[in-house]
A and B are shown apart, each in its own frame.
Chain A
């Protein structure tokens, strides 16, 4: 018998080899055979990440996310907003990571009872109940080696006996009675640049996804304000619920009572219209000649618009055409590797020295007699730029109200490559 169920009915965790290693039902039990439809889709998909996130079955819908090589498959039976489900699954993943340090099959199995308690606490009748990690930690204490030992000796439990204080206050994200001996507030401005560069080196699209992640360890109920030198850059932002939106609208100042610990204060998006600076360029020459079993490969990297900061941790990867049997390349610095099975070329460049540009040159051997490959490989670049936010975003000042002590404050900037692709 089926019950009309709103919201999330069940959750299955599936590992990369296709085994269900955990199931949780919030309503009636749904047979795990429902996952067969998921497995079918998984089989059809060429890559693990190509499994469609929403799969219809005769009586249910399966909504899944792939994180840390585990599929989190939610079963729903009636009209439920898919984003709601996906966001909830993300929260589950984040919580596991937060509790166990890693979100792996082993970690979940090692803590299965806590996992079960958490899932029960996070969802009631398919409605999310407590998903803030601050609240959850008051309800169910994260396992630590020390606590496990203590619990075994004293027989005490890792379940909180008290109603979490934040649960119903106006600031549900913060617990009360927080105490620290060292009061500190650190903010990381991290920007990722996504870009597509075409053959000739001109930018097709470029956009910046930025986040401000915070680590706030402050006693009591601090009220913080954060202002920027150039707040106009932030016209497309998503805030943590703690941010007072009205104040931002009116004064462009972030005013908030922070959650305790690590949290994402805001994320923002700077789109191509604002002319994003491209910090790196690639000169490439990858050619195959018809009728020849050799191809040429030349790659040179150089810095561009980096605002005086150096490019670090540069890593190049490229999927070479299937016809390439092997490569014989010479890197001017770093190490390179070509996997003849997956045809993946990767080159760990390291730091770029503007005086001596790194290059990778040589030849590729092709299958004899085969026609020249049709597709042109795309080059993926990863890099980091320390102490700089590419968009130019700068924090002006950080102030604290409501508490007497003087906290340590710190702001760090970093730029990373997101999906940075160069077509050849």
Chain B
């Protein structure tokens, strides 16, 4: 007599049979039929057609039957909204039942019926149940408010249920308090800015009292809620910590981890010299260790969180290294996490033990694990300087095993060790070279090539070795190709006489036979560099490299702070901010650790995350350049050195200013050069074209210097600076993206808000390669002026959103209005005269440009470069009067008069405009 019999009726007409049974007069038969329906439902069969028949069974005294019908209702009400209304009356009646179990059951089920039409009928019964004398009903009703809010938030607010819910926080029954907190937390999640959970010392006290008495699940809700509170001072912080610490001994690991979160957060406020601070640190270690003896799934989540905790406060677990030693039958996901933490805890004191373990792991069976163990040895060498020698010898031992993947990993990490400790361990190069042939993975090959190139002078047959790689150049991955190119150039600079042929070979392979723009670019740059100035080449290519940082994989401090506030959550498992991955994150608020404040002081602004982008000016360029300043800027071109080209100049040799064509030595057309190189560089007057210069020719337009638009602090380590330029009639947004975070950034995209002149990106943001930590990339984004228009204040304000794999960031910047001056802005003389007269005086404005030491001729030429055209010139009483016209991209004409007095550095400009009809 088991339920499996319900699964066996799969013959045709099953639904029909069930229908008959459901309508049977016999209670027992009815119940059996409902059970069959439920059984079908559990295995995913569609039994919604039976809806009316099942609902008919609802009016019953039999609790089990009622429950089963309710179960069915919850599943199918959504698909049968009209029929579901039939059930309303029974709900209302059941909410008045003398048996609290039935009242609670009714209110519980009601909330699960996600049908708009029904919800309004539920308000009255719900209101009664929230005030029910039985706490079991109250606690069930509290959850129902959250359910209802999910269906119809407005209704819940209008009916005042939120206030009732808030009142329940003061309920006498801890279970009711816990459920009210849970419900409020859920509702607050969809209203990040609402002040639903108004936490103050009184309510905190109530929560702490309920914490001791409610169920384990309630404790989790309450602890998570507590974690959102910011205590006023260190004393309050300490008293909360004292009341939370007993939770560390709870059998439920989720309670433990939530308690750890609260403590880690509030600890931040305690002075470090306080005795209690030390006590708390000691209390945190045992529960974390205990989590590691639980089931592997729990261990995994715990380890991911411990990884954060040891980064924030390594002192907690510094003596517990051994619990992270890997057992050979741990699941792989636990092994890998343990390994990571072992490295984080590695120090001079325990390095011998750690290395012995890692060496042991490197002989295990699981390839992924072995690889990571070998890498870990390398990371130890970099982290603990005293151990470097031992690490290197361990790695050499491992290379001797000749196990292919072990050798390759070892070579990759030895490269890093060389970079960290230059000129120390090069004696091992010979051993490495012996294994050249066994390397088949790009990363290992690239590492080996790097080593050969870097130490070419010590390797007698470096040229032979590199030549052997060159044979299959086109079959190599880009990583290896780039490395090989650089290595051979290095070799050439070190041993120029013997390797000329080799370097020519690689340069032509890279520039002529490759489809990869990165490779061609690098090839051209080297080629140019070598052919023009070998000394400079040596300086550039063989420059001293910055030492690699101790731990490249540390989480960036701002992110770490945020993740510490989210211990125990999915965010902490993925080590990503919650906003980065939660579906439809509704403006998730970023949490920060509280700042340490003394009892007497007020709350200070938390000073966190200063690691990123320190030099970035806080205020984005908020000064609006008035028209006058702008013209002044344009005239002062010489004073502000052009930024972009200046950087590239030394790379390309001196003759670029003279002719845009590339040196004769280059066979291939410079089509792959970055766009910025095609524009005339240097801002010299000689570069400006004459007055008649055709539209569409490259112009020496004014380019403001780059400013920081988005400081790294505000964008999780992404710093954006940039400027605007008009090149060959196209407005370019020149961006410099710098990754100041610890992780690689990818998937960049950009979007503009509507703006005054309809600026919009003409294409996607071209960031093709991932942006590594401390890497900078310059991108030109062509803009069109056909986007949607909305008047901005200031007029030239542009609101930009930039997205990457981490988040979306917003900033605003101002573009110089001169970007919008179009090339065909030269007005006919006659038209100019007529228009000039036509402009009402009100539309005219006048200002002075000061300290401009240019004569009128030069000024006129200069302005021409920015598409400000001189129409006529008059000389009156020693004053030069220049009449000029400008056309904006949206067709508005601006006419101007420039008065220049010889010897007087101050210019007077009068300008006016009128919409062109």
Contact = CB atoms under 8 A, between A and B. Distances in A.
Contacts of B185: 6
Nearest to A48: B331
A120 B64 CA distance: 12
B817 to A, nearest CB: 44
Contacts of A116: 38, 42, 71
A125 B250 contact: no
A128 B217 contact: yes
Contacts of A181: none
Given A3-B114, A50-B331, A159-B67, A65 B295 contact: yes
A419 B328 CA distance: 9
B322 A236 contact: no
Nearest to B256: A238
B150 interface: yes
Contact of B44 (A20, A53, A204, A235): A20
A374 B363 contact: yes
A54 interface: yes
Among A52, A53, A264, chain B packs the most CB atoms within 10 A around the CB of A53
Interface string B40-64: 0011100000000000000000111
A81 B569 contact: yes
A79 B253 contact: no
B905 to A, nearest CB: 63
A2 B583 contact: yes
A375 B365 contact: yes
B63 A241 contact: no
A176 B88 CA distance: 35
Interface in A75-90: 77-84, 86-88, 90
B568 A163 contact: no
A376 B75 CA distance: 55
B68 interface: yes
Contact of B297 (A65, A245, A249): A65
Contacts of A260: none
B838 interface: no
B6 interface: yes
Interface in B728-783: none
Nearest to A106: B4
A168 B42 contact: no
B101 interface: yes
B448 to A, nearest CB: 22
A14 to B, nearest CB: 13
Q: Which secondary structure dominates where chain B touches chain A? A: helix
Given A124-B108, A269-B290, A87 B252 contact: yes
B295 A90 contact: yes
A4 B190 contact: yes
A32 B46 CA distance: 13
A239 B249 contact: yes
A79 B569 contact: yes
Contact of A245 (B150, B173, B249, B569): B249
A365 interface: no
Interface string B398-422: 0001010000000000000000000
A94 to B, nearest CB: 12
Given A163-B136, A209-B293, A3 B573 contact: no
Given A32-B44, A269-B289, A52 B333 contact: yes
Given A54-B573, A124-B140, A271 B43 contact: no
A155 interface: yes
Contacts of B6: 112-113
Interface in B560-595: 568-571, 573-574, 578, 581-584, 586
B215 A50 contact: no
B220 A125 contact: no
B340 interface: no
A22 B36 CA distance: 14
B333 A113 contact: no
Contacts of B582: 78-79
B457 to A, nearest CB: 36
Contacts of A53: 296-297, 300-301, 333
Interface residues of B, number: 110
Is the interface on chain A under 10, 10 to 19, 20 to 34, or 35 or more residues? 35 or more
Nearest to A84: B254
A2 B114 CA distance: 12
B300 A378 contact: no
Contacts of B217: 84, 88, 127-128, 131
Contacts of B258: 81
A341 interface: no
Interface in A225-261: 235-241, 245-246, 249
A267 interface: yes
B798 to A, nearest CB: 33
A37 B332 CA distance: 19
B250 A241 contact: yes
A267 B253 CA distance: 12
**Most chain A C-beta atoms within 10 Å of own C-beta, residue among B175, B300, B356:** B300
Which of A47, A145, A238, A375 has the largest count of B CB atoms less than 10 A from its CB? A238
Given A52-B300, A127-B143, A28 B401 contact: no
A124 B183 CA distance: 12
B287 interface: yes
A421 B325 CA distance: 12
B181 to A, nearest CB: 11
Contacts of B571: 79
B1 interface: yes
Nearest to A170: B213
B307 interface: no
Contacts of A49: 296, 331
B439 interface: no
B43 A23 contact: yes
A300 interface: no
A380 B67 CA distance: 50
B179 interface: yes
B286 interface: yes
Interface string B180-203: 001001100110000000000000
Interface in B98-112: 99-101, 104, 108, 111-112
A374 B35 contact: no
Contacts of A249: 246
A351 interface: no
A368 interface: no
Interface stretch (A56-64, A391-399, A408-416): A56-64
A200 to B, nearest CB: 11
A83 B3 contact: no
Nearest to A4: B190
Contacts of A2: 583
B63 A159 contact: yes
Contacts of B586: 4
Contacts of B333: 50, 52-53
B328 A421 contact: yes
A337 interface: no
B327 to A, nearest CB: 5
Nearest to B71: A120
A152 interface: yes
A64 B295 CA distance: 12
A117 B356 CA distance: 53
B75 A161 contact: no
A204 B100 CA distance: 58
Given A82-B301, A110-B3, A112-B39, A161 B295 contact: no
Given A116-B38, A374-B401, 4 more contacts: A50-B332, A60-B583, A125-B111, A155-B27
18 contacts: A23-B42, A23-B44, A28-B114, A49-B331, A52-B300, A87-B254, A113-B6, A117-B68, A145-B1, A155-B28, A157-B65, A168-B173, A205-B322, A205-B323, A209-B293, A236-B287, A241-B216, A375-B365
Interface of A: 2-7, 20-29, 32, 45-47, 49-50, 52-54, 56, 59-61, 63-66, 77-84, 86-88, 90, 106, 109-117, 120, 124-125, 127-128, 131-132, 145, 148-149, 152, 155, 157-163, 167-168, 170, 172, 194, 196, 198, 204-205, 207, 209, 235-241, 245-246, 249, 264, 266-267, 269, 271-273, 319, 322, 374-376, 378, 380, 419, 421, 423
